[in-house]
Amino acid sequence: MELTSCPECGATAAIEERHVLESTDGPVEHAKVRCVTGHGFFLPVASLDRPAVRREAARPLPARRR
């Protein structure tokens, strides 16, 4: 699961789908985003407030043994 912030209210939002759409300047990656309060958007990934974070990657790493 990829998480980001809602473009409208700033709450936690999940990226549900990703699609690449063609444009005159070349392909642009878009994402379907749904926040915990119910807002939904389909927008370019570059316009998200912060980079998407995979939930697995957000967990702290285990301490290294010496």
Instruction: Give tens-digit pLDDT for 43-61.
Output: 999 998 765 444 444 445 5
Class of domain 2-58: mainly beta
Other C-beta atoms closer than 10 Å to the C-beta of 58 total 8
Q: Where are the domains of the chain?
A: 2-58
pLDDT at 29: 95
Q: Is the pTM of this model over 0.85?
A: no
- Across the range 20-24, mean pLDDT stands at 94
Instruction: Give tens-digit pLDDT for 1-15.
Output: 889 999 899 899 999
**Taking the alpha carbons of 36, 8, 34, 28 in that order, is the dihedral positive or negative?**
negative
- CB burial class (10 A; 0-12, 13-18, 19+) of residue 26? exposed
pLDDT at 44: 94
- CB burial class (10 A; 0-12, 13-18, 19+) of residue 13? buried
